[in-house]
Amino acid sequence: MAVVVFVAVLAVQLAIPISRLGEVDSGTRFGWHMFSGARGAPQFVVETDDGEEAIALQDYMANVRVDVDITSSLPAHLCRVIPEAVRVSWGETTHPC
C-alpha cells in the first residue's frame, strides 16, 4: 500500500509540471512555477562624459530577483547615486539622467 501511495504522489508531482511545460506564460508571482520561465536580469550600463561602465547589480541591490521589474526604478536610482552619469542604458532602452 505504501508503494502505491508513493507512486501516486510522485506521478502527480511529475504530471502537473509536464502538462504546463509548453505554456507561454512565465508564471504568476508567488505561483508554483514562478521561476520556470525566468530570464536573467538585464545588463545596465552607465554612460558618463568619460565613457561607460557596466553595473554589477549586486553593488546596488541586496537581492536581485528576476520576478521583480527593476527597469522602472533602477535607472533613476543609478542617476541619483552616480552624479557623473549622463544616461543609463539596458538592452535597446536608454534613460537620460
Q: Whole-structure pTM over 0.85, yes or no? A: no
Its domain, for residue 3, covers: 1-38
Question: Do 32 and 75 fall into the same domain?
Answer: no
Question: Do 34 and 15 fall into the same domain?
Answer: yes
Question: Do 67 and 28 fall into the same domain?
Answer: no
Q: How far apart are CA 67 and CA 8, in angstroms?
A: 32
Q: What are the pLDDT tens digits along the chain (97 aa)?
A: 999 999 999 999 988 878 877 665 555 655 665 555 556 678 899 998 888 889 888 888 887 776 677 888 889 999 999 889 999 998 889 999 8
Instruction: Provide the number of structural domains found in the chain.
Output: 2
Helices (H) and strands (E) in the chain, counts: 2, 4
Question: Do 92 and 49 fall into the same domain?
Answer: yes
Q: How far apart are CA 29 and CA 26, in angstroms?
A: 9
